[in-house]
Amino acid sequence: MSHSRRKFLSIAALTSGAMSLSGNLFAANSLTEEEYDVPSSIRDLKPMVDGIVPISVEERKQRIAKAQDLMSKEKIDAIFLEGTASSFYFTSMRWGQSERTFGVVIPASGSIAYVCPKFEEDRAMELINPVFGDEVRCWEEHESPYALIAGIIKDRGVKHKRIGMEERVRFFIADGVKKAAPGFEIVDATPITAGCRMYKSKAEIALMQKSSDITIEAYKAAFATIRPNMPQSEFSANISSAFRKLGYSGGAMVIVGKYSALPHGSIAPQTIREGDVVLVDGGTSCEGYASDISRTIVVGKPSQRQTDVWNLEKEAQDAAFAAIKIGATCESVDAAARAVIESSGFSKNYKLPGLPHRTGHGIGLEGHEWTNFVKGNMTKIAPGMCFSNEPTISIPGEFGIRLEDCLYIAEDGPHYFSKQSISIEQPFG
């Protein structure tokens, strides 16, 4: 199984967490000074904060139990997580990362425990839900947190002398634990974390649906503001304003004209001109669950060349979706999209002009997570998986077209979270 992935676009840092519901309402009903002159399509938006059901305590308990079962099968005594997405997934705890070690130990059996700087103990106790385990072992500034991690694991029983480190755990921590626990093997915890997080529950899918719905509404309002000679930065700001009016923190990358051939854009300032391709890629999150949607349009009347490439992109996206079958390999989905593009004369094997990257990535608590529609990934598609479908066509020096909609796998196959674009002139279904 291939679990390789890249960090989400820098915009993911902006969109990684929606505000609390109370914060949502405040943001949605309070215009900043800069927002008094926003276009009416954005100003008239209403908060979309109703009907949100957070992940329950019981579901998180089930996640911990599944992780422990997987640890037993993988012969791992415990896994260690820093205060990042996986920590939130299992414990509802968000902490972040600093030079001071904070994290969660989930043992193969027994209750979880936390390692925390001593002066942060009171803050930690505010954030910890004791139902998952309330033991906090604290270290003073001159003491070793790594010895505490090793001690928790030893106290809960050791069978295999193998400690799993979640992929976001930094080297200095993994190395510190290795030195504090001689004779133990430090191994990759991805089979545990991905083995849980890659398969979404109905509750998770519902939150991702909400996140997607919010993104589409923000896009619709912002796209109505596009005009010739608009600075790229202004359009991007309008998208962010639309998300705020809906009650969320969100945004999107905006790429214009020839720069749209660069899948992740350019630092060059851009101005939207008549006849330009405009590619938008971004989203928000709801209770931590991300959306990721791309739309590509032309300002004014598109040329035949732009229309033909857009239509080919849509055909490739449709081919990828048709290839998504329970039990099929992730590789086969990428191959289906790539075959459409290559059959029209574009380059093969990720070369340009053509499709330069994988057809899609996993999505959930992070904008990009396990696993990917990419060559060589023999992971079998199964219910609960969620992916993007985005077979970009990039033509250097000319333009690029990307249509991106995310989907989930149900027992009866794939379902989109968002309606696909209808045509180059109708970006919203």
- Give the start-to-end residue ranges of the domains of the chain: 11-48+200-416, 77-188
Q: What is the pLDDT of residues 145-200, one digit of tens each?
A: 999 999 999 999 999 999 999 999 999 999 999 999 999 999 999 999 999 999 99
313: helix, strand or coil: helix
CATH 3.40.350.10 fits 77-188, yes or no: yes
Residue 255 predicted with pLDDT over 60: yes
Beta carbons of 152 and 113 less than 8 angstroms apart: yes
Average pLDDT on 210-214 reads 98
Nearest to 45 by CA among 308, 268, 243, 325: 243
Give the three-class secondary structure for 394.
strand
Report the predicted TM-score, pTM, of the whole model to 2 decimal places: 0.91
Could you report the per-residue pLDDT of 96-119, keeping only the tens digit for each?
999 999 999 999 999 999 999 999
For position 27, what pLDDT does the model report?
A: 34
pLDDT at 118: 98
Structure-block tokens of residue 417: 């979270």
The CATH superfamily assigned to 11-48+200-416 is Creatinase/methionine aminopeptidase superfamily (3.90.230.10)
Q: If you write DSSP's letter for every residue of 127-156 in order, what string do you get?
A: H--GGG--EEEEE-TTS-HHHHHHHHHHHT
pLDDT of 36 reads 55
pLDDT digits (tens, 9 = 90+) for 328-351: 999 999 999 999 999 999 999 999
Taking residues 64-83, report their average pLDDT: 98
